[in-house]
Amino acid sequence: MSSLIAIRSAKELELLREANRIVAIVLKRVVEAVEPGVSTAELDEETERLIKEMGATPSFKGYMGYPRSVCVSIDEQVIHGIPSERKLAEGEIVSIDIGTNYRGYYGDVAVTVPVGRVSAEKRRLMRAASRALELGIKAARAGSCVSDISRAVQTEVERNGFSVIRQFVGHGIGTSPHEEPQVPNFVTDSAGPKLRAGMVIAIEPMVSAGSADVEILADKWTAVTVDGRPAAHFEHTVAITDGDAEILTLVEDPECVVTRDDRLDT
């Protein structure tokens, strides 16, 4: 990861808009397939098919050795769950994280949704993580610092009695899936770099109902909470402007789960 923070040109921002438009539409379609009895491998197959159909490639597949096109993380799995023949079950929550590469520019988005009816605690967890993302995006303005995003996310998560996962953070994105700056979901000793118009970052709260500590499973990818409590993960890619951040991973669809959390009422 380069230590330089890129300021994107108008042409680059157009390519990033398209990469992220594609990934948002694909996420919407994949989430529509979430129901009890569907295997995570089936979600992976659908993800790859849709990404290629839209003229992009799945950026996760092969990245640092990751074997699939989507990360599907269930209940206590925080992120990087590898799709398999495991079938989704009623009452679980599932985080779906997808990346695209469109003409050398990257998109990244994630959402956590219920599988059928879920517990009140899981609904509260998803709402808190989703709201934390919303507030983090509101704090992402030119002239502010990365720490302003971090503080907004952490404050909302902890206000609801949940924990911010600290082992993983958000990041810059552009011509690589992960670039500077790092965007922690918690306040550190540093204010971090100042945000400037033209920067593009992925803000992604990862929130646990219990301990903030995680461990990595034997597959060397799947991160799980150490106490087995459920976790939620929400992510948008945004462009910093002189006003409100531009959310690149929104699609113009009033029913899109990427823009609304109606399914949290399930």
* pLDDT on residue 143: 96
Tens-binned pLDDT, residue by residue, of the chain (266 aa): 456 899 999 999 999 999 999 999 999 999 999 999 999 999 999 999 999 999 999 999 999 999 999 999 999 999 999 999 999 999 999 999 999 999 999 999 999 999 999 999 999 999 999 999 999 999 999 999 999 999 999 999 999 999 999 999 999 999 999 999 999 999 999 988 999 999 999 999 999 999 999 999 999 999 999 999 999 999 999 999 999 999 999 976 534 444 444 444 43
H helices present in 96-232, as ranges: 120-138, 146-159
Query: Do 165 and 125 meet the contact criterion of CB atoms below 8 Å apart?
Result: no
Burial label, 189 (beta-carbon count in 10 A; 0-12, 13-18, 19+):
exposed
Strands (E), the chain: 57-58, 70-74, 77-79, 93-102, 105-114, 163-164, 170-172, 179-183, 200-203, 206-208, 214-216, 223-225, 231-233, 236-239, 246-247
Burial label, 98 (beta-carbon count in 10 A; 0-12, 13-18, 19+):
buried
* Token couple for 50: 């849709």
Helix (H, G, I), strand (E, B) or coil at 185: coil
Residue entry with tokens 């400037």: 196
For residue 65, the 8-state DSSP code is: G
* pLDDT on residue 3: 66
Q: Label residue 264 left, alpha or beta by phi (over 0 means left) and psi (-120 to 50 means alpha).
A: alpha
Q: Label residue 37 left, alpha or beta by phi (over 0 means left) and psi (-120 to 50 means alpha).
A: left
* pLDDT on residue 261: 45
* pLDDT on residue 252: 61
10-250: CATH class: alpha beta
* pLDDT on residue 118: 97
Looking at this protein, which amino acid is placed at residue 215?
E
What phi, psi does 24 have (nearest 5°)? Answer: -70, -40
Helix axes 40-53, 10-32, angle to 10 degrees: 140
Question: What's the pLDDT tens digit per position in 120-160?
Answer: 999 999 999 999 999 999 999 999 999 999 999 999 999 99
Rounded to whole angstroms, the Cα distance separating 182 from 137 reads 15
> How many contiguous H segments (helices) and E segments (strands) does the chain have?
4, 15
For residue 175, the 8-state DSSP code is: S
